Amino acid sequence: MKNNYKELIKQTYNFPQEGFDLQKGILHFNGIDLKKILDNYGTPLRISYLPKIREQIKKARNLFNQSFKKHDYAGSYEFCYCTKCSHFSYVVKTALKENVSLETSSSYDIDLILKLYEHGAISKDSTILHNGIKTDEYIEKIRLLQHQDFKHTITILDSVQELERITTQKLDKPIKIGLRISIDGEPQAAYYTSRLGINKRKLLELVKEKIQPNPLLELHMIHFFVDSGINDNLYYWGEFKKALHLYIQIKQLTPSLQALNIGGGFPIRNSLGFEYDYEYVVDEIVRNIKDACVQACVSEPDIYTEFGKYTVGESGAVIFKVIEQKQQNDTELWYIIDNSLMNTIPDAWSINEKFILLPINKWEYSYKRIHIGGISCDHSDYYNSEQLNQQILLPAFDDKYGEDPLYIGFFHTGAYQQAISGYGGIKHCLIPSPRQIIVDKDEHGNLIDYLYSDEQSVSNMLSILGYDE
Ligand SMILES: Cc1ncc(COP(=O)(O)O)c(C=O)c1O
């Protein structure tokens, strides 16, 4: 049969392609026979292929180092793993095997750093960037690391007030700081300027009035992050150039400044037809920084990245069994899977993120337009379009109970999905569940309140993430 799913994929995309291959009618992901895994463990399941993480880190380093050579770039490249995209011990420890630096984003992240140190996965010479909004607890713990003699911690200030809060307690030795520049939103964004970072107009004044006069503050880094991603478009390059210009102005005032941190935002393959010229984009970043520094007669900075999704996204997949078909009208056929999409790939529901979707078996069957539905009661628990609003086509088969079922996988789901969906009780950016208070009325009608549960503890969170050991 020519009109089958396999031919459709071969004619539409370059297939097989990196990470995906069909062998004896079964999809293989990075060389893993998925049917074998399903037969061993059953569905639904998530799978993490750790070697991919190391490959991605090596790939990014090669791209920057090649471009440095080409442009005779004097600075160095520092790959920082941004823990928030997957805090699991098996992921962070895999990244650390490639000698990456780390970026933290909240108070509990510092406990995670201490655990990694306890486990011998990092040393006191490791570079650790403290990014994100600083609560009092977060500031306390950053201080704790500094007191324990972690030598290369850089606290990236997110606001002017943060500087005041960091310096209210007398510093007993100089600390390295960075400044995050706030980014202007894209034209269609819901706000004009991001809440994250310091307004561009206030930066120079802050440096001159508060940082330069204080001998205990060593300004080391300028940071910006365009959260819609490093895209080769006018908006990205516009924000990039504004940040670069500010870096140069501040460098001219402050010789200690040595690093430009361009944040995360490197994309991953979210469709079999995905195209992105990583080499060109990295080269443009390096060339632009080099040219601007030469023109302004300042030395070129070390370039830091905090790639999250890029590092772990492509290592993950989630696989379901189709448990039922429902033809709800002439044109709408639903495949009901054995879990919830909202609970397993929440970004698909909340920010309309797309993932590569492929069947594991039945590639020799003809295909049909399908809507995929989860078993939760929520009407939003569905997935029915691919990248660029393309409809979903999957193998069509007789829905005979007890027959070999169809299995489908969402691929490249390794970043953020578990934290955002609260796997086991973890939370996005390790922000703990708040304490829970119950209010009721007693038999006389008086209000009574009591504590149902305290704020989620660090030990609870780190235990779920595999740091008990
Ligand atoms: C400050 C900062 N750096 C890095 C990242 C990682 O971004 P991505 O996963 O898109 O690479 C984020 C994500 O929110 C971030 O807020």
Q: Which CATH number does the domain housing residue 399 bear?
A: 2.40.37.10
Q: Tell me the C-alpha distance between 419 and 83, whole Å.
A: 11
Report if residue 447 sits inside a domain. no
Q: In whole angstroms, what is the distance from residue 112 CA to residue 189 CA?
A: 34
What's the pTM? 0.95
Confidence of residue 175 (pLDDT cuts 50, 70, 90): very high
User: For the chain, what is the domain count?
Assistant: 2
230 and 327 share one domain: no
Assigned domain for 166 exists: yes
Please tell me whether residue 374 adopts helix, strand or coil conformation.
Answer: coil
* Ligand 1 atom closest to Cα of residue 309: 9
Q: Both 290 and 363 in a single domain?
A: no
Residue 256 sits in the same domain as residue 351: no
Structure tokens at 92: 């962070």
Indicate if 198 and 271 belong to the same structural domain: yes
**301-346 tens-digit pLDDT:** 999 999 999 999 999 999 999 999 999 998 999 999 999 999 999 9
* Co-location of 159 and 198 in the same domain: yes
Q: β-strands 20-23, 101-104: how paired?
A: unpaired
Does 367 reside within a domain? yes
Task: Tell me, yes or no, whether 299 and 318 share the same domain.
Answer: no
pLDDT above 70 (res 431)? yes
**Atom 7 of ligand 1, residue of closest alpha carbon:** 264
Site to probe by mutation for ligand 1, drawn from 82, 134, 183 as the one with most ligand atoms within 8 Å of Cβ, is 82
Residues 51-59, mean pLDDT to the nearest whole number: 98
Based on the fold, state whether residues 231 and 294 are members of the same structural domain.
yes
How would residue 443 be classed by pLDDT, with cut points 50, 70 and 90? very high
Above 90 in pLDDT, residue 455?
yes
Domain presence at residue 429? no
277 and 339 co-located in one domain: no
Average pLDDT for residues 157-169, to the nearest whole number? 92
Cα distance between residue 98 and residue 199, in whole Å: 35
Q: Looking at the predicted structure, is the pLDDT value of residue 388 above 80?
A: no
Domain boundary among 259, 275, 308: 308
Question: What local confidence, expressed as pLDDT, does residue 2 receive?
Answer: 67
Residues 357 and 245 in one domain: no
Does residue 192 carry a pLDDT above 90? no
The distance between the two most distant Cα atoms of the chain, rounded to a whole number of Å, is 80
Question: Does ligand 1 come within 6 angstroms of the Cβ of 416?
Answer: no
Question: Atom 10 in ligand 1: which residue has the minimum CA distance?
Answer: 265
Residue 402: per-residue pLDDT: 73
The residue segments making up the domain with residue 233 are 73-308
- Out of 130, 227, 262, 311, give the residue to mutate to test ligand 1, the one with the largest number of ligand atoms within 8 Å of its CB: 227
**179 falls within a domain:** yes
